């Protein structure tokens, strides 16, 4: 027999639906507006008549952005950064989380090591020491300067080590009895059972690398080495400083500054929008168990 919800329960559910719908619209409507601006003519954009749908539909903003060789180079640089950075992050996260998930008796000075990681969340050397360190190690203007300083995201390490602690200890004990070592146990037991958590953490890493722009501006002396977000951050300044072709001059006369910026935002957001739905289902499976410490 299915119990019928009370009147108060129905009102609570209805209130939740209204609240979540309003909250979703607050997040979605600005994105729709930016999309509409990117597809609208400069006249309509400058007149402020663009709402949630394009006015005088035009693709000139995208044509202007996509035809630039610098945009293609920066996009490829960001893709390279995401592939290398996410792989490096997940490797370091797993190698750090596995030993830290052991009991104090299994790993000597485990608490000291754990605090060594946690303190990096609370304190850092600052921008100038970081830049000097990068410069002295010869990493300026290389792809590795975007990867090595963020190789070990400690927050992700904490989440994964708590997830490891929630796995049945009997599986590890059985593996040791059968003669398996720590590496075999990690590769054949811990990692396969932790795929939901690792998928969620991989998404965090991908988003972090894709959206980062400040480190590109600081550590890259040449604009052709900029990742996409750093390039987009300086795009308007560069278009005034650099020489442009005749075709670009014609397009610039027919474009609004807001249309160009909106097109940049949409193009930079598309890869994450395509990736997110495939990994969203792993959030509850991976992050909630890893964020609770028993």
pLDDT at 123: 81
The position carrying tokens 């910026």 is: 261
CA angle 220, 137, 219 (to 5 degrees): 15
pLDDT at 240: 46
Which residues, in sequence order, are CB contacts of 161 under 8 Å at separation 6+? 96, 97, 98, 100, 101
In eight-state DSSP terms, residue 178 is T
- Give the least confident one: 59-63, 111-115, 215-219: 59-63
Residue 38, token pair as written in the block: 């990117």
How far apart CA 124 and CA 268 sit, in angstroms, is 29
DSSP secondary structure of 222-279: SGGG--HHHHHHTHHHHHHHS---HHHHHHHHT--HHHHHHHHHHHHHHHHHHHHHHH
How far apart CA 70 and CA 223 sit, in angstroms, is 9
pLDDT at 34: 87
For residue 288, what are the CA distances in angstroms to 118, 130, 190, 284? 20, 33, 17, 6
Residue 82's CB is within 10 A of a number of other CB atoms, namely 21
Name the CA radius of gyration of the chain, rounded: 25
| Helix H or strand E encompassing 78 | helix 69-100
The position carrying tokens 């050397």 is: 125
- Give the least confident one: 144-153, 186-195, 220-229, 254-263: 254-263
The confidence band for 56, taking pLDDT boundaries of 50, 70 and 90, is confident
pLDDT at 243: 45
pLDDT at 87: 93
Q: What are the backbone dihedrals phi and psi of residue 9, each rounded to the nearest 5 degrees, phi first? A: -65, -40
The confidence band for 247, taking pLDDT boundaries of 50, 70 and 90, is low
List, for residues 123-163, the tens digit of each pLDDT value. Answer: 877 888 888 888 898 888 889 999 998 899 988 898 888 88
61-291 belongs to which homologous superfamily? MetI-like (1.10.3720.10)
Which residues, in sequence order, are CB contacts of 271 under 8 Å at separation 6+? 210
pLDDT at 91: 93
List, for residues 248-278, the tens digit of each pLDDT value. Answer: 555 666 677 778 778 878 888 888 887 777 7
For residue 27, what are the CA distances in angstroms to 52, 79, 258, 265? 13, 26, 20, 15
């Amino acid at each position: 027999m299915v119990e019928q919800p009370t009147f108060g329960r129905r009102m609570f559910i209805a209130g939740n639906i209204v609240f979540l719908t309003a909250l979703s619209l607050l997040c979605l409507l600005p994105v729709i507006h930016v999309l509409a601006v990117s597809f609208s003519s400069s006249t309509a954009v400058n007149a402020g008549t663009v709402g949630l749908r394009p006015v005088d539909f035009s693709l000139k903003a995208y044509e202007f952005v996509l035809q630039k060789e610098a945009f293609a180079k920066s996009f490829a640089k960001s893709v390279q950064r995401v592939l290398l950075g996410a792989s490096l992050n997940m490797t370091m996260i797993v190698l750090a989380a596995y030993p830290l998930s052991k009991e104090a008796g299994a790993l000597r000075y485990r608490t000291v090591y754990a605090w060594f990681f946690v303190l990096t969340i609370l304190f850092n050397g600052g921008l100038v020491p970081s830049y000097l360190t990068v410069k002295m190690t010869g990493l300026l203007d290389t792809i590795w300067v975007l990867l090595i300083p963020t190789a070990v995201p400690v927050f992700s390490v904490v989440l994964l080590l708590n997830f490891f602690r929630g796995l049945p200890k009997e599986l590890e004990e059985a593996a040791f009895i059968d003669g398996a070592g720590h590496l075999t146990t990690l590769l054949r037991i811990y990692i396969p059972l932790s795929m939901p958590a690792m998928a969620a953490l991989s998404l965090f890493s991908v988003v972090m690398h894709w959206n980062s722009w400040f480190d590109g501006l600081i550590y890259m002396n040449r604009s052709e080495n900029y990742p996409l977000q750093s390039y987009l951050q300086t795009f308007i300044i560069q278009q005034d400083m650099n020489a442009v072709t005749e075709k670009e001059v014609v397009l610039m006369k027919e474009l609004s500054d807001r249309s160009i910026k909106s097109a940049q935002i949409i193009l930079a957001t598309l890869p994450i929008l395509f990736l997110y739905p495939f990994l969203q289902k792993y959030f509850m499976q991976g992050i909630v168990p890893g964020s609770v410490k028993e």
